[in-house]
Chain A
Amino acid sequence: MSALLPLLVGLPLAGALACGILHARVLVRRHRDPEAAANEALVGGIATGSVAVAFFVAVLLTIRLLSLPPEHRRFEADLGTWIDAGRLKVPARLLLDPLSALMTLVVSGVGALIHLYSIGYMRRDPGFARYFAYLNLFVAAMLLLVLGANLPLTFVGWEGVGLCSYLLIGFWYEKGGPADAGLKAFVVNRIGDAGFLLGIFLLHRELGALDYASVNEAARSGLLPANAATGAALLLFCGAVGKSAQIPLQVWLPDAMAGPTPVSALIHAATMVTAGVYLVGRLHVLFLAAPAVLLVVGLVGGGTALLAGFGALAQRDLKKALAYSTISQLGLMFLGEGAGAFDAGIAHLVTHAFFKALLFLAAGSVIHALGGEQDLARMGGLARRLPATFLCFLAGAWALSGLPPFAGFFSKDEILGGALHGAGAPVLGALGFAASFLTALYSYRLVYLVFSGRENFEGRPHESPALLLHPMRALAALSFVGGALAWIPIWNRRPIAEFLAPVFGGNEAGGGAEHVLVAVLSLAVAFVGFLLARRLWMDRGLAGERALARLPLWRVAAAGGVLDAFYRGTVVRAARVLAIACGVFDLFVVDGAVNGIGRAASAAGETLRLLQNGKVQAYAIGVAAAAGALLLAAFLLGGTR
């Protein structure tokens, strides 16, 4: 069975290559005949097909995995050695265990749906084949990220998805904005990645081994010193912070919305940004061995969830609002993990992938229908015009808001339950509930602003074609049933947690009356949020928030880029000034010293020329003086004898 593993990475990769070649052909043709369009069906078919096949392979493998006894649920595929240098050995080994299987299913499944959606969305784009090449490459990298059996391989995927993110954000590179956003995303991620790398180095220094099994085992057995565990966990979490857009590195994600909307759905909502959550889950033993870091994870997550929630609330741009929402939800996941509820974090990751992808796709449909309009002020009343889209969006928002029976309620509930149990419980719990409240508030704000009230747009929007709607419907269905994966209250079963038990061990948190209490509380909070949103925004458009918008806090949140501006003003500027100062230093001091030597030699030569004045008697004086000096030197030097 494990022989199928490489296919998971290989299929999308092959798809990417094929699309790349087709793109090259398009370029060559375009030179001859500008009108000749790409064979979009072929490209879309290959791209979507490869991911879909990967999904089926993943399903197949997962079924096989489940047929094994829990402690043996892992497939490994060894593809030889990638790097072997000195003490460092990196085998090219893929690992499928419940955690990576779950991730694989989400990535390939959601990925396939979004590929399908993209065929419709990207129609007639001159970069159609290029788009799918990138998208397939992304899926390949993402699958490598989750399937890699050791940190370096994960890092390959990690940076690979970063690359694809960069390429896809800047897909419409002719405009400056997307290109800048892509660059920003990559650079900010790199800062986190530097931490990731250092974490890898630290583990390599301490352990020599970098595969997850060894690292977790060493952390469990105490082979890894506590200091090293803390350091490594903190450094690796830096990587997670960057990739998952947590404070303080969250600044890139709102800008990343400059890319095509399906990209935002797949990469910047459903999959890539969750890589950090996955990483922390993957190395949960290490993080458990570093409780301080785990607390940091929770606090960062909670803080991000809260602040990004405010951000989402105050946005006037539909996609940016969703982006902040994503940041907030990722924060929640970290909050759960920080509290020790890793399975809850992963469960929320899964459901979030469904409904957030759905929301983005629906938003894409709206934007598509409005001819690229993203401003919430220029929407409203679209429920009548785009009924299918409306329903899908509503399903997504419902799920997001954490109201049953949609998925968000159940997975979020898990997190909140975990938060109240783990370390730092009161703080994390409070943050969690506050974020939940905000989530419901902004979720319905979006629904009301987009779909209710007066029509503030121009033109006559039409419902999107089936190619766009079908993936949305599928995701809507998943958003609905997805909650069952997290928690089935009736039987009090938690399928995902149970599925992941071989990885995380049995999680005894939650359950019973206490859990019900949490559920009721969270329901109440979400419902209050819903009611407030309904009161403020239903049929009123942005007018509803006029009072709020005067608050300084709101303005800060709306601007979104407070931290961004802060970075630009301090870190970036300081680095820039440092770079220019280095340039000046190099030119005048370092090179100046070099040129100074040259000038000194020339000056000495000129002095010599003055002495060499052509007058023979002057020379004679020189000779006589030299002879005198020689005598003097001989007597002085010889005097020592």
Chain B
Amino acid sequence: MAEALFYALGLTALYGAGNVIARRHALVAAVHLALTLFALSGVYLLLGFPLLAGLNLLVYAGAILVLFLFVLLLLDVQRDEPLPLDLRGKLGPAAAFLVGIEALALAFASGEGPAEEGFRETTERAGEVLFGKYLFPFEVSGLLLLLGIVAVLVLARRGERRAPPPAAGPGEASEPARMAEVRP
């Protein structure tokens, strides 16, 4: 039963993934990514990783995808991609690569027996790792968060907070001109 569910969820995830890369409209693709993520959370749960499943659902499906949709709507791009036209050139190598990876993965099957049953990771054990061995990375990821904030501040904040610095004399004035000049 659980096995069947695993395969069902896995196929769902793959179905979603396929649609992410194959659907013409970005919004549709995003929705399909959500489908994939949900399915994957189910897989994690099935495999015995409830914490990961939950976080995946919360952070990924909850936060990240919402952000995506938000941006999609914000930018409001109406035009669809000219997808089929472009697929022709790129499908070949992609397919080849895909087949390669698939073959590689299937190769794992050759030597391995079936996985043990009844494995279940508890939140406690995850916590032990996270705050024990992984304490340092955990702290470092705090820095990453800080970096993310700074990044968004720099890149997305509109408007000037301050007047241009006095040092910028003639260079400032010629800024647009210079932009145009920087060409390969």
Contact = CB atoms under 8 A, between A and B. Distances in A.
Q: Do A and B bind each other?
A: yes
Interface of A: 614, 617, 621, 624-625, 628
Contacts of A625: 93
B97 A614 contact: no
A614 B184 contact: yes
A617 B97 CA distance: 15
A628 B184 contact: no
A264 B32 CA distance: 112
Nearest to A614: B184
Nearest to B104: A631
A38 B93 CA distance: 96
B184 A624 contact: no
A614 B183 CA distance: 12
Secondary structure at the B interface, as helix, strand, loop or mixed, is helix
A487 B182 CA distance: 103
A624 B90 CA distance: 13
A251 to B, nearest CB: 69
B127 interface: no
Contacts of B100: 628
Contacts of B184: 614
Contacts of A624: 97
Contacts of A621: 90, 93
B111 to A, nearest CB: 16
Interface of B: 90, 93, 97, 100, 184
A628 B90 CA distance: 16
B35 to A, nearest CB: 25
A617 B184 CA distance: 18
Nearest to B96: A628
A440 B90 CA distance: 104
8 contacts: A614-B184, A617-B90, A621-B90, A621-B93, A624-B97, A625-B93, A628-B97, A628-B100
Contacts of A628: 97, 100
A616 to B, nearest CB: 13
B1 to A, nearest CB: 38
A628 B97 CA distance: 8
B34 to A, nearest CB: 24
A356 B163 CA distance: 109
A621 B100 CA distance: 15
Contacts, number: 8
A612 to B, nearest CB: 9
Contacts of A617: 90
Contacts of A614: 184
A251 B136 CA distance: 99
B144 to A, nearest CB: 23
A561 B161 CA distance: 100
A74 to B, nearest CB: 88
Nearest to A612: B184
Nearest to B86: A617
A628 B101 CA distance: 9
Contacts of B93: 621, 625
Given A621-B93, A624-B97, A625-B93, 4 more contacts: A614-B184, A621-B90, A628-B97, A628-B100
A573 to B, nearest CB: 57
A618 to B, nearest CB: 10
B169 to A, nearest CB: 32
A625 B96 CA distance: 11
A560 B72 CA distance: 104
Nearest to A624: B97
Contacts of B90: 617, 621
A52 to B, nearest CB: 88
Considering the complex of A and B, which 3 residue pairs feature the smallest CB-CB distances, nearest first?
Answer: A624-B97, A621-B93, A628-B97
Nearest to A625: B93
B107 to A, nearest CB: 11
B96 to A, nearest CB: 9
Nearest to B184: A614
B108 to A, nearest CB: 15
B52 to A, nearest CB: 26
A279 B46 CA distance: 114
A625 B97 CA distance: 8
Nearest to A627: B97
A383 B140 CA distance: 125
A229 to B, nearest CB: 78
A614 B90 CA distance: 17
A384 to B, nearest CB: 99
A625 B90 CA distance: 13
B119 to A, nearest CB: 30
A628 B100 CA distance: 9
A506 to B, nearest CB: 98
A179 B21 CA distance: 90
A621 B97 CA distance: 10
A628 B93 CA distance: 11
Nearest to A617: B90
B67 to A, nearest CB: 21
A621 B86 CA distance: 14
A283 to B, nearest CB: 79
A426 B93 CA distance: 97
A449 to B, nearest CB: 89
A614 B184 CA distance: 10
B103 to A, nearest CB: 12
A628 B103 CA distance: 13
A625 B93 CA distance: 9
B31 to A, nearest CB: 23
A38 B155 CA distance: 95
A610 to B, nearest CB: 13
Nearest to A618: B90
A624 B101 CA distance: 12
Contacts of B97: 624, 628
A617 B87 CA distance: 13
Nearest to B101: A628
A150 B92 CA distance: 88
A639 to B, nearest CB: 14
Nearest to A621: B93
A236 to B, nearest CB: 73
A614 B97 CA distance: 23
A614 B93 CA distance: 19
B94 to A, nearest CB: 9
A621 B184 CA distance: 22
A173 B126 CA distance: 106
A628 B104 CA distance: 12
A246 to B, nearest CB: 76
A315 B71 CA distance: 111
A626 to B, nearest CB: 12
A70 B93 CA distance: 106
B118 to A, nearest CB: 35
A389 B79 CA distance: 119
B92 to A, nearest CB: 11
A617 B90 CA distance: 10
